[in-house]
């Protein structure tokens, strides 16, 4: 169809279908050569967008896997290398090919998709577009793929290690991301086989459809991070059949009558107050406390507080301790932190190298509330209560 015959209605219809119309100049290349060039340009766009080569692997997006196989084929074909030599601005053709078992004389995307385990729709209805992503899906996929190296990953590594240990120990569960679609800072998810931590969320903005959205900083366990819209992250989790939400730690039984290896032990709940001169910390020093459980010396535990991000990079003082027996220390600490979650300090500070720190063990809770909480832990009734942070009271569950 000539351009003069194209109407505004045609443009609008194609836009609704997520198809972009591009008018190309007359070319001397054969249709097959045009297809090879177009396929190569898609690979280059992927590299320019993501800063890396497309990768094989079932955990990756199907289009990325297609690009990876296509690049292998191009590298192994003398015809393709000759055709594309003058267009190879990233030096892709000079790398050693990763040969596949596919027919290297064919560059048919349908065949590649079939080889990758993606079958075409059973219906032959001409109203169904095969392998065409909607604009919303493309945008969400691009946002998930656009990751950068996490410069301060060491600040998060301990959290990832702890969560992985808790999952293995059964203290955390992984649940299909379905009914509960909420996403909040401090929560963990599994996306495309990688553990993801929502480190922070920006100000609420209005999406094009009028709904609320926000930019989030998401850290992944492969030392990358992304600045992604919350709704794009939600769509990616919905789309990923293995997408999971990681639950908060399940404290389980704290006081047992039967002694098991490394399960029943004595410990000390310690409460610390910070001596930091950071304005947000110093102004709340009377109600801001770090609460932990240890089986060793508290003095040794806090010896290097001023250089430890866990202690807000400042000296601390011990304001209370509670001795307990026949408990599981890890489960007890998880219980306390979960019980006081609504009072958790939300702040980030800089470490000695200038990297941002996101402490998670400090709570805005008065000392008398901590006393009450410990008493209810001892008598086994804490599960009947919740902490009302606005009224600073322990209240019976409704």
User: How confident is the chain (398 residues) per 10-residue block, as mean pLDDT?
Assistant: 54 59 58 82 82 77 79 84 83 59 46 48 41 48 66 88 83 76 86 89 79 89 89 88 79 42 65 91 90 87 86 91 80 88 84 75 92 87 89 86
290's CB contacts (< 8 A; 6+ apart) are 271, 272, 273, 274, 310, 311, 316, 361, 362, 363
Collect all residues with Cβ–Cβ distance below 8 Å to 62 and sequence separation of at least 6: 113, 116, 118
Q: Contacts by 193-197 with C-beta closer than 8 Å and gap 24+?
A: 193/59, 193/242, 194/59, 194/220, 194/221, 194/222, 195/160, 195/163, 195/164, 195/220, 195/221, 195/246, 196/220, 196/221, 197/156, 197/159, 197/160, 197/163
Alpha-carbon distance of 316 to 2, in angstroms, equals 76
pLDDT of residue 10: 62
Q: What pLDDT shows up at residue 265?
A: 56
Structure tokens at 130: 């095969």
Q: Return the pLDDT at 318.
A: 93
CA angle, corner 176, sides to 49 and 157, nearest 5? 60
Measure the CA–CA gap between 187 and 247, rounded to whole angstroms.
8
CA distance 219 to 196: 6
Residue 76 is predicted with a pLDDT of 82
Largest separation between any pair of C-alpha atoms in the chain? 85
């Amino acid at each position: 169809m000539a351009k003069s015959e194209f109407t505004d209605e045609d443009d609008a219809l194609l836009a609704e279908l997520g198809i972009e119309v591009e008018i190309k100049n007359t070319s001397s290349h054969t249709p097959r050569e045009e297809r090879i060039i177009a396929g190569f340009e898609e690979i280059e766009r992927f590299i320019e967008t993501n800063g890396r080569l497309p990768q094989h692997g079932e955990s990756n997006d199907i289009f990325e896997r297609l690009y990876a196989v296509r690049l292998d084929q191009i590298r192994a074909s003398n015809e393709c290398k000759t055709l594309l030599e003058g267009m190879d601005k990233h030096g892709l053709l000079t790398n050693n090919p990763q040969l596949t078992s596919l027919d290297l004389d064919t560059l048919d995307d349908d065949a590649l998709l079939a080889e990758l385990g993606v079958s075409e729709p059973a219906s032959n209805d001409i109203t169904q577009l095969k392998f065409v992503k909607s604009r919303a899906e493309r945008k969400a996929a691009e946002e998930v793929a656009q990751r950068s190296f996490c410069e301060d990953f060491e600040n998060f590594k301990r959290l990832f290690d702890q969560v992985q240990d808790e999952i293995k120990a059964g203290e955390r569960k992984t649940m299909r991301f379905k009914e509960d679609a909420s996403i909040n800072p401090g929560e963990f998810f599994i996306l495309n086989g990688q553990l993801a931590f929502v480190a922070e969320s920006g100000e609420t903005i209005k999406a094009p459809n009028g709904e609320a959205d926000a930019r989030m900083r998401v850290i992944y366990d492969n030392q990358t991070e992304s600045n992604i819209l919350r709704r794009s992250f939600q769509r990616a989790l919905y789309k990923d059949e293995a997408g999971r939400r990681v639950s908060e730690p399940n404290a389980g039984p704290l006081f047992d009558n039967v002694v098991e290896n490394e399960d029943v032990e004595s410990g000390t709940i310690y409460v610390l107050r910070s001596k930091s001169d950071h304005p947000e910390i110093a102004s709340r020093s009377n109600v801001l406390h770090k609460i932990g459980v240890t089986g060793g010396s508290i003095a040794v535990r806090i010896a290097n507080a001023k250089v430890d991000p866990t202690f807000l990079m400042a000296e601390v003082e011990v304001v209370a301790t509670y001795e307990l027996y026949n408990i599981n220390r890890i489960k007890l600490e998880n219980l306390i932190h979960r019980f006081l979650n609504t009072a958790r300090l939300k702040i980030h500070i800089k470490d000695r190298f200038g990297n941002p720190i996101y402490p998670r063990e400090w709570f805005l809770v008065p000392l008398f509330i901590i006393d009450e909480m410990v008493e209810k832990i001892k008598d086994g009734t804490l599960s009947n209560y919740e902490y009302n942070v606005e009224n600073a009271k322990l209240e019976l569950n409704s």
